[in-house]
Amino acid sequence: MVESEVVISILSIIIIDLVLGGDNAVMIAMACKALPAEQRKKAIIFGTAGAVIMRVVLTAIALYLLKIPFLQFAGGALLVWIALKLLFEEKAAVECDVGKSLFNAIKIIIMADVVMGIDNVLGIAGAAQGSLERVIFGLLFSVPIIVWGSTIILKWLDRYPGIVYIGAGVLAWTAGKMITKDIIIYENIGRYIPYFDFALPVVVLIFVLATGLYMNKVVKRKEVGKNSV
């Protein structure tokens, strides 16, 4: 049982990072595009390494903060919003400065990843269930895929919208789990509800996916109506 929880936790981290990391991959490519080929490779390697280190540090801080009563609930609620945004918000074009030198490109990659990666950090912290080792393993596995396979990932996300729903579902489940682990929520609500730690994540999962499907259908109907006029 414990081993299966670890595997599910690590898989959740990887899925969350892959689904939310597409913009970060585009940002890395844009930051390095003006550099010579040799410097471009170095900028990607060192910039990505710095971004991973910063993300591990930020996630470690998030893991600590989520132990504070009620912040676990607040983090879960924010993660629900992130999951919904992932489903029905059109992605804006990624804007990023172009690196004029190797050092400048590395700095841009690291700083932009910190700014753009808050949703990743929160999702990964929730999926890690308090384990920094799982965070490190999940990031080391998924970040190289994002960096080197960014175009493939972005094409998959455009071609197969269901992938986004899988990512949103993982975020929703993680959000529900985070809320159930909040000591204040558990003491005042959870202890009185049978199977609370399973029932609430299921409810959150259904709510997020159902809302996303409904909103996307509404948007499509409006687009069809405009085109038919």
Q: What is the pLDDT of residues 143-194, one digit of tens each?
A: 766 666 655 665 676 677 777 888 888 889 989 988 998 888 988 999 899 8
Q: What is the pLDDT, as a whole number, of residue 204?
A: 95
Output the average pLDDT for the chain: 78
User: Do 124 and 170 meet the contact criterion of CB atoms below 8 Å apart?
Assistant: no
pLDDT band at 205 (very low <50, low <70, confident <90, very high): very high
Q: What is the pLDDT, as a whole number, of residue 180?
A: 92
- pLDDT tens, 31-78? 777 778 778 778 878 887 887 888 888 888 888 888 888 888 988 898
> Which has more confidence, 139 or 226?
139
Q: What is the pLDDT, as a whole number, of residue 228?
A: 61
Residue 91 pLDDT > 60? no
User: Do 208 and 168 meet the contact criterion of CB atoms below 8 Å apart?
Assistant: yes
Q: What is the pLDDT, as a whole number, of residue 151?
A: 56
Please name the residue that has the structure tokens 């595009």.
33
Mean pLDDT, residues 105-129 taken together: 77
Q: What is the pLDDT, as a whole number, of residue 132?
A: 83
> Which has more confidence, 93 or 193?
193
Most confident of 11-25, 32-46, 186-200, 209-223: 186-200
Q: Which amino acid belongs to residue 198?
A: F
Alpha-carbon distances of 109 from 49, 100, 112, 115, rounded to whole Å: 10, 12, 5, 10
Task: Kindly give, in sequence order, each residue whose CB lies less than 8 Å from that of residue 6, ignoring residues fewer than 6 positions away.
Answer: 131, 134
Query: Which parts of 89-131 fold into alpha helices (H)?
Result: 102-116, 118-128
User: Do 13 and 142 meet the contact criterion of CB atoms below 8 Å apart?
Assistant: yes
Q: Which residues of 196-223 are buried (b: 16+ CB within 10 A; e: fewer)?
A: beeebbeebbebbbebbeeeeeeeeeee
Residue 6 pLDDT > 70? yes
Q: Cα separation of 54 and 135, whole Å?
A: 12
Q: What is the pLDDT, as a whole number, of residue 201?
A: 93
User: Do 110 and 3 meet the contact criterion of CB atoms below 8 Å apart?
Assistant: no
Lowest mean pLDDT among 118-122, 150-154, 166-170, 205-209: 150-154
